[in-house]
Amino acid sequence: MNSFYVFNGRKIKRFFFVLAAAIFAIGVIYVESDNISVFSEDNPSAIYSVSTDKKQIALTFDISWGEKRAEPILQALKDNGVQKATFFLSAPWSKTHPDIVNAIKESGYEIGSHGFKHDNYSTLTDEEIRKQISSAHTILTAMTGQEPKLIRMPNGDFDKRVLSIAQSLNYTVIQWDTDSRDWKNIGVEKIVDRVVSKAHPGDIVLMHASDSVKQTHEALPLIIKELRNQGYEFVTVTDLLQQGSTQGTEVRDHASLQKSIEDAGGL
Which residues are catalytic, by number?
Answer: 62, 208
The Cα angle at residue 94 between residues 96 and 147, in degrees rounded to 5: 145
Residues whose CB is less than 8 angstroms from the CB of residue 114 and which lie 6 or more positions away in sequence, other chains included: 62, 63, 64, 88, 89, 90, 91, 136, 151, 152, 154
| CA distance linking residue 74 with residue 107, whole number of Å | 8
Number of Cβ within 10 Å of residue 176's Cβ equals 24
Q: Under the phi-then-psi rule, with left for phi > 0, alpha for psi from -120 to 50, and beta for the rest, what region is 175?
A: beta
| CA distance linking residue 124 with residue 208, whole number of Å | 25
Spell out where the chain has E strands.
Answer: 46-47, 56-63, 86-89, 110-113, 150-151, 172-174, 178-179, 203-208, 233-234
- Selection from 54, 62, 52 nearest residue 206 by Cα: 62
- Eight-class DSSP state of 248: T
